Structure 1
């Protein structure tokens, strides 16, 4: 604890600035696709949108990721 308050201690160092996360490509999600996932898999709308956006908006790929999860 004493090291923190000593001249040259870590409290005098400037805080580390974290770079912003790289912007992801905007994917257009169809309401019908989100509804299919919500109703068939009983997940929330937010979960369905996340799954669909991770699949790049491709409903088939999103459904496959739910049926055959990655090991």
Structure 2
């Protein structure tokens, strides 16, 4: 698996999606609790620019800004 910044590849991804079959699709039954949600706008490079620090979820649940 290669991980990269997807925005650079969106045109290729859209072309591939429209050109090639995307099946079989599998439904993975998983769930999680959303601990924090805030709209920071589209294409905001500052949103996820580093790894989470230990205790991040505790900070969020206490009502403090991370």
Greater share of helix: 1
Greater gyration radius? 1
Please, what TM-score do these two structures have when normalized by structure 1? 0.20
**Bigger relative contact order, structure 1 or 2, given CA contacts below 8 A and separation 6+?**
2
TM-score scaled by length of structure 2? 0.21
